[in-house]
Homo-oligomer: A and B are copies of this chain.
Amino acid sequence: MAIVLGDNQYGKAETRLVRVVRDGERHELRDLTVSVALAGDLATAHTDGDNSRVLPTDTQKNTVYAFASEYGVSTVEDFGLRLARHFVNSQPSIHRARVSLVEHGWQRLGPHSFAHAGAETRTATVTCDRSGAWVVSGLADLVLLNSTGSEFVDFVTDRYTTLPEATDRILATAISARWRHASADSDWEASFHGAREHLVAGFVDTYSRSLQETLYAMGQRVLAHRPELVELRLSLPNKHHLLVDLAPFGLANSNEVFVATDRPYGLIEGTVARDDAPPAGLAWW
């Protein structure tokens, strides 16, 4: 028996970048958090303290800023591809680079004025090795709520079940969605906005017998409309809104007064995919 090093990677996480484009009166603003993770011939760094193949994480951070200056930031996907390919192509010891990007939205208030758009973020993770590149796009913290059009009945019961059936309830969730592209070359901007639009419509338009049903409807709808996408992974917390019992006060509560609870919460996770999707390769992590 021997003790050995297994999978490993390293990099700079959460580099905060704001890129302004100042061509003329009307400025553009991109606000990103960028994380880099590199893997390769790094065994002796672990076992012998040999840094001769270790590109410092500080250099990775510098590269993010320098590339933002040299090439600009068009989309998170393009910027991530450029960074990931750079590390794999320029460092012989690095075999795989994964760049995860979070874009924070801003709404325009004027030619050079902006308001932060809220918690929702656009995300991308780009993974490259010497054989190719994989792109996963997505969004996080998109919080949606239907105040009716949701039920939960006819479920399994056992000794520990006390939940009453609900024929009309609030359904609310904070969507985390990631979708895999068929190729590493796409119209990222159109694809993102199309996928987001169909996620939202899938939530809004589905009469929901469970959050599972809503999850599938959302994923199905995105894939049906976006041929460039082959697989979606959704993670949906059920943000419970509990009906308050007002009977002790002599009041009825016909689905009007709710407690929004923090914990615990249901968590519904699922994948929707094309049955002819190409292999995922290194896309997921």
Contact = CB atoms under 8 A, between A and B. Distances in A.
Interface of A: 1-22, 27, 29, 31, 33, 35, 37, 42, 45-59, 61-63, 65-66, 68-70, 90-91, 93, 106, 109-110, 112-120, 142-149, 152-163, 170, 174, 200, 203-204, 208-213, 215-216, 219-220, 223-224, 231, 237-238, 241, 244, 246, 248-249, 251-276
A208 B112 CA distance: 13
B42 A212 contact: yes
B249 A66 contact: yes
B115 A17 contact: no
Contacts of A154: 50-52
Contact of A158 (B55, B145, B268): B55
A6 B204 contact: no
18 contacts: A1-B276, A2-B275, A6-B231, A13-B263, A13-B265, A18-B170, A22-B147, A45-B210, A46-B213, A51-B152, A52-B154, A54-B156, A66-B160, A91-B158, A113-B146, A114-B146, A115-B200, A116-B144
A2 B220 CA distance: 10
